Amino acid sequence: MHLTREEERIYNGELGWASQICMRILVKLGDLFGAERLIPIDSAHVSGVSYKTLGNAPTDFLKTLAESGEKTRVESTLNPKSFDPEYLGKRLPEKLLQEQREILRAFEKMGFKQSYTCTPYHLQKVRVGAHLAWAESSAVVYANSILGAMTNREGGPSALAAAIIGKTPDYGIHKPENRKPNILVEVDPPIKYGIEYSALGIFLGRILKDKIPIIKGLKELTEDKLKQLGAALASTGMTNMFYYENELREKSGIEKVNVGRKEIENTIEQLTTTQVPKPDLVFIGCPHCSLQEIKKIAKIVRGKKIKQEIELWICTSRFIREKAADHINELEKCGAKVLTDTCAVVTWTEELGIKTIMTNSAKTAYYAPTLNKADTILAPLEECLKTALEK
């Protein structure tokens, strides 16, 4: 890999241990994947923030890095943590909260924004054609496919190194030749509901591996439905990007795959693990709710009440919560918990006695059986809310 004089000085440790180790991470990754140089990035987004998913191993590294005085060189955001200040922060054991706070202090000292969201694209404008170093696979797919930005699927540590250096190795999806679609997916009959988009993502992730699809047969498109599709796609596969415009011309010789009613329905069924339609928790907001989603939910729950025996969590970012203050009021009046900074998957639902989670997110339904040791019910948003509300 060719390094500039400045990069070389950092690599050799002339600017200290912390920037050296971050530079070495980026250069070794670049060597591994055949990059020729580092390229500047507009922003970095780091996953691996929740103490529940991290455990104790990273704390020492993060603290050492933070204590070196090293700071992020670009706009740098953080994925959700394991609790919100208002609700879970008061219900979970103090020991767990302490461990989490220690991790957060290290990130904050390094200059990371206290964003705590999986949807960094809701709080910053992303330029078309911008190079990014984002971890959080759902945001990676969203950035590449919907925003027209360019980011490989970083891991927590490589995104952290990129945040500190402000650069990323130039390989993979940063190169135009690696952004070409190589498989055509025809969904017939076309799909139009959020849950179908979500299920399509799970199904495609399993069969595409890392191929880039053009997907035809998506009706009543919204950014929120595409967000669901991308999040699910990244859960089961290594695909980091998809195309969806129906006017995209077919390429001759491109591989083709058909997805029908049966595949979508089977996938939805498989993501429900219990026959008993009695969830302890109804969870909306994986990935974190957009302003449109909050508005839609507020409209449905207006003037109603949540059942005594069920919790309804609506998870979103602080930014959207502020923007949607009036709607949030309505949600809270009906008894819903509007949680920022966290979600059901990255907190300790078991500690709260939650055994069955109902959700509209295929990503959550895919991960919750292992990460939350919970049964899952995957259902459309309207049905989830209906289950939580009194008649």
- Of the candidates 114, 119, 137, which has an alpha carbon nearest to the alpha carbon of residue 316? 119
Cβ distance to another protein smaller for residue 41 or 135:
135
Cβ burial, residue 122 (10 Å; 0-12/13-18/19+): buried
Cβ 316 to another protein shortest distance, Å: 25
Cβ distance to another protein smaller for residue 62 or 231:
62
Report d(CA 351, CA 349) in Å as an integer: 5
Whether residue 189 has a cis bond before it, omega within 30° of 0: yes
Cβ distance to another protein smaller for residue 25 or 331:
25
Cβ 54 to another protein shortest distance, Å: 6
Q: Are 231 and 164 in contact (CB under 8 A)?
A: no
Cβ distance to another protein smaller for residue 58 or 89:
58
Contacts of 379 (CB under 8 A, 6+ apart): 195, 272, 358, 359, 360, 387
| Tokens matching residue 97 | 């909260």
Rule CB under 8 A: which residues touch another protein?
A: 21, 24-25, 28-29, 31-32, 47-48, 53-58, 60-61, 135, 155-158, 161
Report d(CA 71, CA 81) in Å as an integer: 21
Cβ burial, residue 167 (10 Å; 0-12/13-18/19+): buried
Cβ 63 to another protein shortest distance, Å: 11
Cβ distance to another protein smaller for residue 122 or 167:
167
Report d(CA 24, CA 14) in Å as an integer: 13
Cβ distance to another protein smaller for residue 52 or 327:
52
Cβ distance to another protein smaller for residue 17 or 265:
17
Cβ distance to another protein smaller for residue 30 or 120:
30
Report d(CA 219, CA 229) in Å as an integer: 13
Cβ 140 to another protein shortest distance, Å: 13
Cβ 71 to another protein shortest distance, Å: 19
Count other C-beta atoms under 10 Å from residue 300's C-beta. Answer: 15
Cβ 48 to another protein shortest distance, Å: 5
Cβ 196 to another protein shortest distance, Å: 29
- Of the candidates 47, 69, 42, which has an alpha carbon nearest to the alpha carbon of residue 166? 42
Cβ burial, residue 343 (10 Å; 0-12/13-18/19+): buried
Cβ 9 to another protein shortest distance, Å: 18
